[in-house]
Amino acid sequence: MKRPALWFFVSLAAGIAAVKIGIIFAVFIVFISFAIGAVLAKKKTHAAFIIPVAAVAGTLLMGAFLYGQKDVSNITAIKGVVKDAEIMYSKRQTLTVDTSEVFKNGAFEKDNIIFKVYTNPGVYVKRNDTCIFSGNVQEGYSNIGGIMFANKIYYCGHNKGGLFEIIYKLRDKISDSADRLFPENEAGTIKALVTGKTVFINPSTKQLYSAAGISHILAVSGLHTALIAAMFLFVLKLLKINARKRTVFLMAFLVLYGIFIGGRAPCIRAIIMLETVLFGQLIYKRNDGINSLAFAGMLILLFQPYELFQAGFQLSFMSVFSLFILGKLFKPINGFWGNIFDIVLASLFITVFTFPILAYHFYGFSVYGFITNLLVIPSAGFLVGFAMLSCIGGIISYAVGMFFAGPAYFILKCMEYACDFVSTLPYNIVQTGKLPIMFIAFYYLGLMTPVMIRNVRKQAIFIAADIFAVFCVLFSNRLIFKENTYYFLSERKGQSEIISSYDGHVYIIGGREYNSRTDYAGKTSDFLLSMGKTKADAVFVTDSEKCDFILNLMNHIKIGTIIMPYNCDDDDVSAIEYKANENGAKVIKAVCAKKAKLGGGIEVTCLYPTGNETDKTGHAVYMIKDKDFDFIDITSADENEAKLIEAVPEDKCKATVVKNKDNVKNRLVFDGSDDIKMRGDKTWVLPQ
């Protein structure tokens, strides 16, 4: 069987993804895998065994991960060992704590959970310290069981860390060396390139590199791993060590380097691939690149199944995979100009293959990123080399460190100037929104057609069918179904109601009142970006408490019209009008019982307040009427306003199914703990 690791990896990933989508889909995937296995069994191929086993393993691993998550809502304190400690750019310390006990229900209980703990500025804890942390706890993510913002820390002792502590102390010394040799802003970038810790990077630097389409340079990945391995191999050659011993030393060095950079997934992928190639050299076996890539992915997913859904994992694997596809379709061209052409083609392939992933996770992509990569990647090797030499040299002698720090600083500033130039070009960033999964599937199916199908005529037919499918996914609703979509965002996303009409218009109702700790307007604007929108055609204000939300929202997105009810305070109205005048937005008063026609055939009617200038109480009530249904939007109904709800006929109400719901007389009362997406359903929704 050719490339068994690839078959196993694909089946394993399918099983993991199926569980994330839903248990029914997971059962379907397992059934299909066994059906494929039964068909292949007749051909007496090993895939008959590999495919179903991998699919079942994926469903079990992801199922155990999802349903094995522990409830941390009742935890107020934890006791554990600090496994990793970093000082962020904001001067806060972020800790990775492996707990031995948790405090809940009035007592400590033995429990092992990985926590990410954030300390207050100026409060620092050492690695391998045993401490008790108390503070606010939130649910975790990926392999992090919980997140705590610690208010109090009690020191309990220190543990010896062995080899890991020695490696981490070396990393700390390298970080301190970078702080001495470089200015603060550049030191953060250098430390990220050398140690793999991106928390030191200035947020403005991250934004600059992201706008230029080369943010991957800042994160230690396969490129950095390959450069470090090449440098180490060069040193071994200078020492005149024979080939087999060089291979053994390099394999051991890569393991230590993986520990040094904290086990980042892109580096682990590159290390596993290199280890596979080097092991093949030791036993005199040829290596298949795609099979090695799949083997690396298989090992990562077996230990951390949730990595499949991380942008870094997807981007690193797809980038390397695109280069293998390039090698199959084109042969390298010799000579100087041939090498230039190969670099351009490689950059183009990486851009084309990673575009859907960038658009899905970051809602857009850099148009000029392809060109920026051509300028920056060749110099990245020199930058990493000089950065590493300067930081290590700085530990030995300040003069030695400065000798290598000069070229590193020069290259870094040149890269920043290039990024700054590209980010100012017109149409640099295209906001695509979060691409549909079906679009991504058909996109990659079309890209793989020349590899899977050799017949030119069949290729043309298959690609034409694929383009038609993509067109249907993107435009079927706008041209055929014409259904408007309603989003009711949870508190963590801004607690707004967003209406997206089928003809491309966007409207916002309400929002979360001002909070100094959380930018709710920014979260709402991020959600709009995920829809591919940078402008709201209209915003409906519900009460004075939401005026600060609207003022902040105008700092993030463009707004066409702001509709304000009569119950808003005069000072808030004046502030809105002043800000709207600066941003070119129009402000109008919502007239009671008068209908406003929106895009997509939607009608909005203000039911309360009635327009009495002396009535400054309560919250605005809007009735939204669509072609198939209508509902009343109430942000916080009081007793008098609730009478409007009681007047609605019962037979027009149908509650939709969401988590944490309360049904009151067949109406859904939204408690703000989950997102609701309503599309084409006859639903009456009352946000509480």
Tell me, what's the pLDDT at 679? 35
Tokens for 148, please give them: 């705590």
Please tell me which residue, 19 or 670, carries the higher pLDDT value: 19
Q: What residues have CB less than 8 Å from 146, skipping those under 6 apart?
A: 72, 75, 113, 114, 115, 116, 137, 138, 139, 140
Question: Bridge-partner residues for 86, per DSSP?
Answer: 94
Mean pLDDT of 588-606: 80
Residue 646's contacts (CB-CB under 8 Å, 6 or more residues apart) are none
As a three-state string, the secondary structure of 75-137 is: EEEEEEEEEEEEECCCCCEEEEEEEEEEEECCEEEECCCEEEEECCCCCCCCCCEEEEEEEEE
Q: What whole-number distance in Å separates Cα of residue 177 and Cα of residue 179?
A: 5
Type of residue found at 114: I
Across 93-101, average pLDDT: 89
Four-residue CA torsion sign, 388, 389, 391, 395: positive
DSSP three-state, residue 490:
coil
Q: Which residues, in sequence order, are CB contacts of 527 under 8 Å at separation 6+?
A: 487, 489, 493, 494, 496, 498
Give the H/E segment covering residue 32.
helix 23-41
pLDDT of residue 613: 53
The confidence score (pLDDT) of residue 687 equals 33
Of the candidates 463, 559, 468, 555, the residue with the CA atom closest to the CA atom of residue 509? 559
Q: What is the pLDDT of residue 668?
A: 33
State both tokens at 274: 């290199």
Helix axes of 4-21 and 289-303: crossing angle, nearest 10 degrees? 40
pLDDT of residue 497: 79
**Nearest CA among 553, 520, 511, 510 for reference residue 535:** 553
Reply yes or no on whether the pLDDT at 666 is more than 50.
no
Give residue 450's identity as a one-letter amino acid code. Answer: P
Whether 133 has a pLDDT exceeding 90, the answer reads yes
Please report the pLDDT score of residue 670 as a whole number: 35
pLDDT band at residue 646 under the 50/70/90 scheme: very low
Confidence of residue 213 (pLDDT cuts 50, 70, 90): confident
Q: What is the mean pLDDT of residues 546-565?
A: 87
Quote the percentage of the chain above a pLDDT of 70.
83
- What digits encode the pLDDT tens for the residues 152-163? 898 888 887 677
More confident residue, 280 or 534: 534
The mean predicted confidence, pLDDT, of the chain is 78
Strand order in the sheet with 485-488: 586-589, 558-564, 535-540, 506-510, 496-500, 485-488, 676-679
Judged against a pLDDT cut of 60, whether residue 609 lies above it is answered with: yes
Helices (H), 142-221: 162-181, 184-195, 203-211
Q: How far is CA 5 from the centre of its chain?
A: 27
Residue 677 binned pLDDT confidence (cut-offs 50, 70, 90) = very low
What backbone phi and psi angles, to 5 degrees, belong to 485?
-115, 135
Residue 649 in this model has a pLDDT that exceeds 50:
no
- pLDDT, one tens digit per residue, over 235-271 is 888 888 888 888 888 888 888 888 888 777 677 777 8
Mean pLDDT across the stretch 628-657? 43
pLDDT score recorded for residue 632: 59
591-602 mean pLDDT? 79
60-69, 327-336, 577-586: range with highest mean pLDDT: 577-586
**Unique residue bearing structure tokens 């230029």:** 212
Q: Would you say residue 620 has pLDDT above 90?
A: no
Q: What are the structure tokens assigned to 497, written together?
A: 């109601």
State residue 631's pLDDT score: 61
Say if CB 562 and CB 576 are below 8 A apart.
yes
Predicted pLDDT of residue 485: 79
Pairing of the two strands 558-564 and 429-431: unpaired
- Cα-only R_g, the chain: 28
Beta bridge partners of 428: none
Residues present in the chain in total: 688
C-alpha separations of 130 from 78, 113, 140, 160, 480 in Å: 11, 14, 21, 11, 62
Please give the residue that has the higher pLDDT: either 212 or 552.
552
Q: Which residue has the tokens 């809502």?
A: 73
Residues 146 and 115: beta-carbon distance below 8 Å: yes
3-state secondary structure string across 441-464: HHHHHHHHHHHHCCCHHHHHHHHH
Give the pLDDT score at 78. Answer: 92
Contact (CB, 8 A) for 500 and 484: yes
What is the structure's pLDDT at 79?
Answer: 92
24-33, 416-425, 518-527, 641-650 — which is least confidently predicted? 641-650
What residue has token string 């099983």? 15
CA distance 87 to 105: 32
C-alpha of 31 from chain center: 31
User: Residue 201, by phi and psi: left (phi above 0), alpha (psi -120 to 50) or beta?
Assistant: beta
496 vs 488: CA distance, rounded Å: 6
Residue 436 CA to residue 534 CA, distance in Å, equals 18
